[in-house]
Amino acid sequence: DMKITRRPEWLQKKISPAAHADMERLLGDLRLHTVCQEAHCPNISECFRQRQATFLILGRLCTRLCSFCNVTKEAPEPVDPAEPGRVAGAVVRLGLRHVVITSPTRDDLPDGGAEHYATTVVAIRESAPETRIELLVPDFQGERASLAVVVAARPDIVGHNLETVPRLYHIRQGADYMRSLRVLATLRELAPDLPTKSGLMLGLGEEEGEVMEVLADLRRVGCAYLSLGQYLAPSKGHQPVERFVEPAEFEQYREKALTMGFAHVESGPYVRSSYHAEQYGSLNTSQ
Ligand code: SF4
Ligand code: SF4
């Protein structure tokens, strides 16, 4: 698809690698992976400067085949029991105020990696009790028991991204819209005080009405936090970008979402689910 060859001027952010060279060295020394680096996230300079990062646990290889994602799809690596301790060590050494932990989907593991998530939360909590811990979890094939293990570790926020509208779920091979929505509903049932978060990528061919229906679904399952960002194809071999959504449209979505009752919304071309993660403050009592 050669339709879109140039990014519009609002998507020309510069990365300044020198600004985070020390952080990259430390992550390399600790043999840790961040989504920030793996996904060549355009916000890396800004986030690292603000002492915020998203760690990728449970390896770098995924058992699913989403056509928009840059994670390598291969037979996954064995779970490293020392990884939670190393993540906790990195949180301390980097002085992170807010950490996001995510993983590829591990359909090969009986619990989908839920126990490993929980161990990671506990390890960070012990070493850095002030750091806010946000998890961005896979769907665990909808398994309630896995979600229960995760929430029992008492993270501060748990997110699960719907990524796109139901009509376009063919780009999330192996996932199911209703199952993902149920993941968010189940989290609320298991831990009514735990705020949940979800996100969508825009520019994949979705219509505004479809986006609004997804937002309504999210509110129905009590989702408090929302992120909306522009989809950017990691390479020519990935799902192509259909459209660059204008900054003003992102702002309109943000305002509408707030009217619908989301407690905090980040919406803009560069928004990723972990972008400005610290801004998703505490919930107001009406949630
Ligand atoms: Fe990392 Fe998320 Fe920031 Fe990107 S937006 S650099 S993935 S923390
Ligand atoms: Fe990427 Fe997640 Fe899809 Fe795996 S499940 S391919 S990590 S988006």
Mean pLDDT computed over 111-139: 97
- Model-level pTM greater than 0.80? yes
Q: Is the CB of 101 under 6 A from ligand 1?
A: no
| Pair 61, 104: CB distance under 8 Å | yes
Task: Encode pLDDT of 35-74 as tens digits.
Answer: 888 888 889 888 888 888 899 999 988 899 899 988 877 7
pLDDT at 283 over 60: no
Lowest-confidence pick of 11-25, 197-211, 256-270: 11-25
Mean pLDDT computed over 180-185: 98
Torsion of CA 101, 102, 107, 109, to 10 degrees: -20
Q: Is the CB of 88 under 6 A from ligand 1?
A: no
CA distances for 190 relative to 48, 150, 198, 275, angstroms: 33, 10, 17, 26
pLDDT at 248 over 80: yes
Q: Say what the ipTM of the complex is.
A: 0.96
pLDDT at 282 over 60: no
Query: How confident is the model at residue 19, as a pLDDT?
Result: 66
Query: 5 pLDDT band (50/70/90 cuts)?
Result: low
Q: Select from 74, 105, 106, 160 the residue to mutate for testing ligand 2; criterion: most ligand atoms less than 8 Å from CB.
A: 105
Query: How confident is the model at residue 284, as a pLDDT?
Result: 46
CA distances for 19 relative to 32, 45, 123, 271, 278, angstroms: 19, 6, 28, 20, 20
Query: How confident is the model at residue 287, as a pLDDT?
Result: 40
Q: Is the CB of 155 under 6 A from ligand 2?
A: no
Query: How confident is the model at residue 122, as a pLDDT?
Result: 98
Identify which of 64, 65, 61 has the alpha carbon closest to the alpha carbon of residue 78. Answer: 61
Please state, in angstroms and rounded to a whole number, the distance separating the CA atoms of residues 116 and 113.
5
Ligand 2 center from residue 118 Cα (angstroms): 20
Residue minimizing CA distance to atom 1 of ligand 2 = 69
Q: 100 in the Ramachandran plot: left (φ > 0), alpha (ψ -120 to 50) or beta?
A: beta
Ligand 2 atom at minimum distance from 65 CA: 6
User: How are the residues of the chain apportioned to helix, strand and coil, as percentages rounded to the nearest 5?
Assistant: 40, 15, 45
Domains, the chain, with CATH or none: 17-278 (3.20.20.70)
Q: Is the CB of 154 under 6 A from ligand 2?
A: no
Please state, in angstroms and rounded to a whole number, the distance separating the CA atoms of residues 273 and 145.
25
Ligand 2 center from residue 249 Cα (angstroms): 27
Q: Is the CB of 105 under 6 A from ligand 2?
A: yes
DSSP code at position 199: E
The number of the ligand nearest the C-alpha atom of 70 reads 2
Average pLDDT value over all residues in the chain: 91
Is the pLDDT higher at 2 or at 30?
30
